[in-house]
């Protein structure tokens, strides 16, 4: 895969008019191949001067006639990065959801994606499980439970087995962000 190319992961999950819907896509970020799938949370910066925020990938589709790849995401900001600013009513780890979805070309979404989020101070840090920990989980019977938990978090009714398989092959087991460590308003 070329460094700047985008590729759908898994089979299409729906058709409507001129649109083909997908569950995930593969892209490169800092010379590493990565996969984002529906429901994943990750850090983005819409413009260089904008603050980092969290995006939740909600929809992926291709317009058949123009072959344009599109995405819909919901954005979450720290209160201090909103026009109203942080107030005493905001919790320490609270983030604010933008009410409207953001629809952008998929290549623009990839350009917005941020891997250096050292300035983000909200919530707990999510860390990937080390291979040794995964092996130990498999030995004591918890590996299957962990996999079932991962699959249960994708409760959309779509079959994500093909996407999970490709993520596992990449070593891309974790989502960039664990939103559960922040309070969403």
Higher-confidence position of 174 and 75: 75
In a domain, 1, yes or no: no
% of the chain at pLDDT higher than 90:
32
> Among residues 29, 43, 48, which one has the least CA distance to residue 125?
43
What's the CA dihedral at 55, 25, 5, 44 to 10 degrees?
A: 10
pTM of the model: 0.74
pLDDT recorded at residue 1: 47
Counted domains in the chain: 1
Task: Give me the domain span that covers residue 46.
Answer: 7-184
132: domain CATH number?
A: 2.30.30.490
In a domain, 2, yes or no: no
Residue 44 has pLDDT above 60, yes or no: yes
Condensed to tens digits (0 to 9), the pLDDT of residues 8-34 reads 998 899 999 999 999 999 998 888 889
In a domain, 75, yes or no: yes
pLDDT class of 62 with cuts at 50, 70, 90: very high
In a domain, 126, yes or no: yes
pLDDT recorded at residue 68: 95
């Amino acid at each position: 895969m070329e460094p700047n190319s985008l590729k759908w992961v898994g089979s299409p999950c729906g058709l409507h008019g001129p649109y083909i819907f997908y569950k995930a896509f593969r892209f490169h970020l800092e010379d590493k191949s990565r996969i984002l799938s529906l429901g994943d949370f990750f850090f983005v910066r819409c413009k260089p001067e904008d603050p980092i925020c969290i995006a939740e990938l909600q929809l992926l589709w291709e317009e058949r006639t123009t072959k344009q790849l599109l995405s819909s995401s919901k954005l979450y900001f720290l209160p201090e990065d909103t026009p109203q600013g942080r107030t005493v009513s905001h919790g320490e780890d609270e983030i604010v959801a933008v009410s409207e979805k953001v629809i952008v070309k998929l290549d623009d979404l990839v350009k917005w994606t941020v891997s250096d989020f050292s300035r983000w101070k909200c919530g707990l840090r999510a860390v990937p499980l080390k291979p040794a920990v995964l092996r130990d989980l498999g030995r004591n019977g918890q590996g299957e439970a962990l996999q079932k938990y991962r699959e249960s978090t994708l409760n959309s009714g779509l079959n994500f087995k093909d996407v999970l398989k490709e993520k596992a092959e990449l070593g891309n087991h974790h989502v960039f962000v664990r939103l559960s460590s922040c309070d969403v308003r």
